[in-house]
Chain A
């Protein structure tokens, strides 16, 4: 028989085991800085750092800031370069990086409770408006115009105007206030939408890369089921699932290229116009040449489908080139033509834009230090270093034709010319500037999906979507 445990022994045992766990647990976790982790010298004040026209990069020396990142080549790049920031400014950086969905949840919790856990964060063209409306994100113009806070060689005008325009918003004007008012975030990574086509297939079939949507439909129909290397190809592929990024991708080139608009001049929902219906019908026809499951495709599935060599045409983010041209991941390396977005019936080319930018929390306790980070991360020098670390495309005009960019994209066919033309001439955020755009876009994309899946005619699907969107806009 086991010896009965005496009360004291039991208690002491319990206390010991419990206590030791607690003690182990109480040790406050050491705060790790990336500089310490990567073993880079956490160099103290270096006078040489303040090289840019007497600008004092060390003015916030000793401060600590926290950043929130979504997992993305842009954040990966900046994380790798953080030790340089530490040695240039003396500012310690803590960061957290999560997949996009979790990242936005966490960021929203912090911003909405005004805790200032994160001093600076990544954001997109839709999200920053959500944060700007209640004043959670700090307008940056004051920092940019203060010579004490911004180096004289920063050169804001070097950014593509289209990119800066996306991040300016006059919230009083609301839906029509885009491109005006304060600058809320600095663009660091840009994507435009290119028509990818398979050079090898077009050559074999003797077809020229299409320049308009009508030509695209004709070519894609002809090539649907075309056999190449023992594979039967689909004519077309694109995002098709029922969330708003479906609209902001290749679909935007079609919708706006057809001269349609989401709003009338007086701010009413206008997606039931004749031009809009025509554009949606064209999309339905193109998507009928895509794989059967396309109604569930996000950019990710669509990209993998094209990279696996299953489709002839694909419209999506141009920087996917990096994935396509990597022979270890893709079956189409060296076989892709990067085209401009096809033109609408009257020859107009249009294109959407997506940016990953850096913004600052208005609840931050270290705004100047956070600004130094934003400024550093979007400076010419850092953005140039970021190119070979996969931060494609850069947002500064001076870098587009830099030797670094040319060299990095040398093996990507006509990529480097195409993306610049798209960004300089066609790319623009055209959808209504509403902080509710995710909700609105989701509803609209549901209509688009119904058209693709032939569940509903374009007229009916859009009429239903339009009335729901009116309700969302009118709602509290």
Chain B
């Protein structure tokens, strides 16, 4: 038989053990996450270091972590028209593609989520199917069509072809966001005499804003990073940044430092878009929770 104080001590130790187990679990999780983040971000970190190195430090073996940093690589990248023009082109084309996708894709997603019409699932599926075909399979016919329609080497042509990337993404992501909006809200609007346009633009759209932000970020990243479309369908005037970065590779020499600087500069727009969208994602989480 155990006395009461003994029992209390036992419970206490057990609790302590549980707590330390928990703490251990916590520590393990943190260690695991830190390891993963280090692993995932290290290439990026290495490129950042490379962008601040002199050529001799870039190729130094064993690799150098301590060196005198220089901004020469950034100066070089920013003074090269063959880097700046593709950069500008990529901004125009990616933002243009997203604008088109938002204008057409959002109503499409809403319709697929809320309205009933014939062959709805077929239509949704055919949007999705745009993502199925590997780019390399469709690039030859696209190239021929673009030549015939004079879309080769034009911004419009690239904005259109980027729809293959951004449009299905937007429609399918937003469709599920729209489906999550309680139907009751829209019914309330129609009882008050509002049309579906009211419920789309004034209510549903605002509730799904976090979804819009998320799919915009993803669309931006996928479009910005695309290589094949830009390589085959853009000419010298509309060259995009992914092929623009290749300009740092010359015949006998790869300008690692400048290329790394160019890569870091290329990440900036994606970074900004992500930060900007994050604000909406967080605001969106709480929007509409409290009336007023």
Contact = CB atoms under 8 A, between A and B. Distances in A.
B100 interface: yes
A275 B252 CA distance: 35
Interface in A91-113: 94-96, 98-99, 102, 105-106, 109-110, 112-113
Given A25-B155, A26-B156, A113-B144, A4 B202 contact: yes
Interface in A36-78: 71-73, 76
Interface string B102-120: 1100000000000000000
Nearest to B239: A96
Interface in A392-406: none
A72 B231 contact: no
Contacts of A303: 252
Given A71-B250, A113-B143, A29 B95 contact: no
A476 interface: no
B154 interface: yes
A21 B102 CA distance: 12
Contacts of B95: 21
Nearest to A115: B147
Contacts of B232: 105-106, 109
B119 to A, nearest CB: 28
A323 B251 CA distance: 11
B46 to A, nearest CB: 20
Contacts of B75: none
A431 to B, nearest CB: 23
Chain A interface size, under 10 / 10 to 19 / 20 to 34 / 35 or more: 35 or more
Given A4-B202, A22-B96, A117-B147, 7 more contacts: A18-B102, A21-B92, A24-B92, A26-B155, A71-B251, A76-B251, A99-B249
Interface of A: 1, 4-5, 7, 10-11, 14, 17-18, 21-22, 24-32, 71-73, 76, 94-96, 98-99, 102, 105-106, 109-110, 112-113, 115, 117, 300, 303, 323, 329
Interface of B: 92-93, 95-96, 99-100, 102-103, 139-140, 143-144, 147, 152-156, 159, 197-198, 201-202, 231-232, 235-238, 243, 246, 249-253, 292
21 contacts: A7-B197, A7-B202, A18-B100, A18-B103, A21-B95, A25-B92, A25-B96, A25-B155, A25-B156, A27-B155, A28-B154, A29-B154, A29-B237, A32-B237, A76-B251, A94-B235, A102-B243, A102-B246, A105-B231, A113-B143, A115-B147
7 cross-chain pairs, A with B, having the tightest CB-CB distances, nearest first: A29-B237, A25-B96, A18-B99, A25-B155, A115-B147, A21-B99, A99-B249
